[in-house]
Structure 1
Amino acid sequence: MAAQGFAEGQSVNRPPLFDGEDYNYWKARMEYFLQGLDFQIWSIIEEGDLVVLNSRENWTDDDKKKISLNCKAKSILCCALSKKEFNIISACKSAMEMWEKLRITYEGTYKVKETRIDILVAQYERFQMQPGESITQMYSRFTDITNGLAGLGKNYNMGDMVRKILRSLPASWTPTVTAIEKANDLKRMSLEKLIGSLMAHEINMERLGESSSRKKHRNMLKATEGSSEEDSEDEDSGENSKDEEAFLSRKLQRILAKKKHQSGRRHFKKGKDFRKPEVKDGKKSEPICYECKKPGHIMAECPKLKKT
């Protein structure tokens, strides 16, 4: 069978296999399989065996056909069960009895069924989209609840389910919910169309979020590079601060010295109490004659010239 490319329960020619897990899922698939195979067989399982009034010796072709269909319905149910599940219905005489025995075993009695319905209804009423959950994941959880209710006989109409999903969305989806309510008639809107619109909006939100995150990442890189450059500049400035202080100190000293020198010159020019330094040697202050080279007189008063 593996060579043919399909496993047990995945072929249109063999019934889905039930191994005791997820009875509602198997029940729905089995119903579709029987209806597609022969609707009269499904009627036998749902309503009971076809009645044959004649004794075996007097069976007609029509009687034989009815008995064949009754046996075929039981055979299909047996082929759809694992050994453990077959042991539950092995004592049953009709296909309808087999089907009912499985239903009571896995769905329980009427009271058990009502209790399960109440639990699923409470989950339906409290249903909310979880943080970090995608539209696909949310819709999968929602269909698990609604399918479970449908398997137990509790159904909601399409408009109620559409409004329930819209109410379950978080506050960030409020503009989208408002736009959908204005653009569509919720009573006629299908779940598939709603989920398609929500998924399209989710993709746009993810695209915008990625672009904003890339922009934020670039800004962070620029800020990091700027801070590293500032740190290096601070280090360089820290190393050069002492040199700059020394340079400014020397420059200030030169400016002060220059101003002090200029103020001294102005005082020298404008001072009234300026006196020539006194000469200790008196001879240096006396005039010298250019004729006789002796101090104390000038050339016009030179005795030597007078004698001449």
Structure 2
Amino acid sequence: MAQINDNKRAPHFDGSNDSYWKAKMTTYIKSINRKIWKAVETKIEIADPETPIMAKEVLLQNNDIALSAIHDALDERKFDQIKNIKMANEVWKKLEESFEGTQAVKSAKAYILKEKFARFKMKDDESVPEIFHRLQVLINDLKALGEEVKDKDFSHKFLRCLPSRFGTFVTILVRSGLDTMTPNQVLGDVMTDDTYRDNNEKEKKNKEKKDEKKDDKKKSVSFKATTSSKGKVKQDTSSKDEGSFTRDDEKMTLFMKRFGKFMVKKGYRARRKKSSSKNKKEARKCFKCNSKDHFIAKCPYNVTMMMIARRARRTRRRIRKTR
């Protein structure tokens, strides 16, 4: 006789995700006993009233165990919807109609999910595992509505959504055949190829960085060599120029010394000194009378000559008038 496993609790259902709860609840009831799930899946009918009482009691007990498990999983609001139903199969169908809808609603939902499956694409900021998870959730929703999706179709759709960098690898997988591979195996092969590619790209980047560092070092060394060689050339040219300048200066100083001696012998420097000393000692004189006591502006001889000239002009005028 079947009994409830007290170590497990029924998954709680609040009406938010019915497909998730339905899958977990199905597994929970089956874990109790397969006969208990049969009481939920099929309606119990006791048509023959002459059926032995013991067989009838077993079927009813299985129904009660399944009904109790469903009651434990529901909250108070959901329980009010099915509390008067006595058969587990009817309760299960009532919950399916309430949260999944009727057959028409299910077919409409399935149509919408099929359209999503056909237009399924990778998002810009999405990784490979995230694509696989989103596609898997969509397929599970289709299966919950009774639609059949093969693993081969799942794998093909997943490979078509991958970025272009997986083009060669996808071609190899498709040619090798996906009939014997599960979607999880396909995901594992794709992730393996992706890790190899990432490692190769990292190695290339590291090599490029090392090459750039080597080039920078070579450039710095060559720059230092050119600057040092230029410095040596400048030092050599400056030392040569300094040597030539010092030689020219020595020649010029010898020439100036000899020329000075020659000028001294000729007496040019002594005459200049005498003339300058005379000019300093001699005082200025009047240009009219050569007197040192006054200048030409105050010279008395200059005044008398002017007076004599005036008198002469006056006499000339008088003589002209008398004539």
Does the pair score TM above 0.5?
A: yes
**1:170-215 alpha-carbon deviations (Å, 9 max, x no partner):** 2111110112123x22233221221121111111122222223333
Larger Rg, first or second structure (1 or 2): 2
In structure 2, how many angstroms separate the alpha carbons of the residues matched to 1:160 and 1:252? 89
- In structure 1, the partner of 2:147 is 154
Aligned residue among 183, 186, 189 for 1:197: 189
**1:109-162 alpha-carbon deviations (Å, 9 max, x no partner):** 233222221222122112223345333222111110000100011121122122
Question: Is the counterpart of residue 83 in structure 1 residue 76 in structure 2?
Answer: yes
**1:245-269 alpha-carbon deviations (Å, 9 max, x no partner):** 797578579889x9xxxxxxxxxxx
Aligned residue among 129, 132, 140 for 2:133: 140
Q: CA RMSD in A?
A: 3.7
Q: Structure 1: give runs of 5+ residues left out of the alignment.
A: 1-10, 259-308
In structure 1, how many angstroms separate the alpha carbons of the residues matched to 2:180 and 2:215? 53
User: Cα 1:243–1:190, aligned 2, differ >3 Å: closer, same or farther?
Assistant: closer
Aligned residue among 209, 213, 216 for 2:201: 209
Contact 2:13 2:21 in 1 (8 A): yes
Contact 1:120 1:149 in 2 (8 A): yes
Give the TM-score normalised by the residue count of structure 1.
Answer: 0.65
For 2:189, the aligned partner's letter is S
Question: Is the counterpart of residue 70 in structure 1 residue 26 in structure 2?
Answer: no
In structure 1, how many angstroms separate the alpha carbons of the residues matched to 2:216 and 2:84? 78
User: Cα 1:12–1:144, aligned 2, differ >3 Å: closer, same or farther?
Assistant: farther
- In structure 2, the partner of 1:26 is 21
Contact 1:50 1:70 in 2 (8 A): no
Contact 1:52 1:67 in 2 (8 A): no
User: Cα 1:112–1:226, aligned 2, differ >3 Å: closer, same or farther?
Assistant: farther
For 1:67, the aligned partner's letter is L
In structure 2, how many angstroms separate the alpha carbons of the residues matched to 1:163 and 1:151? 21
- In structure 1, the partner of 2:43 is 48
Secondary structure at 2:85 match in 1:
coil
In structure 2, how many angstroms separate the alpha carbons of the residues matched to 1:151 and 1:85? 21
Instruction: Tell me how far 1:59 sits from its aligned partner.
Output: 7.6
Give the TM-score normalised by the residue count of structure 2.
Answer: 0.62
User: Cα 1:201–1:64, aligned 2, differ >3 Å: closer, same or farther?
Assistant: same
- In structure 2, the partner of 1:286 is none
**1:20-53 alpha-carbon deviations (Å, 9 max, x no partner):** 2321111112222223322222222122234275
Structure number having the greater helix percentage: 2
For 2:196, the aligned partner's letter is N
In structure 1, how many angstroms separate the alpha carbons of the residues matched to 2:234 and 2:36? 105
Aligned pair count reads 242
In structure 1, how many angstroms separate the alpha carbons of the residues matched to 2:116 and 2:233? 76
In structure 2, how many angstroms separate the alpha carbons of the residues matched to 1:122 and 1:31? 28
For 1:106, the aligned partner's letter is F
In the TM superposition, what are the counterparts of 1:155-194 in structure 2 within 5 Å? Answer: 155-182=148-175, 184-194=176-186
Question: Is the counterpart of residue 99 in structure 1 residue 92 in structure 2?
Answer: yes
For 1:178, the aligned partner's letter is T
User: Cα 1:241–1:131, aligned 2, differ >3 Å: closer, same or farther?
Assistant: same
Contact 2:39 2:59 in 1 (8 A): no
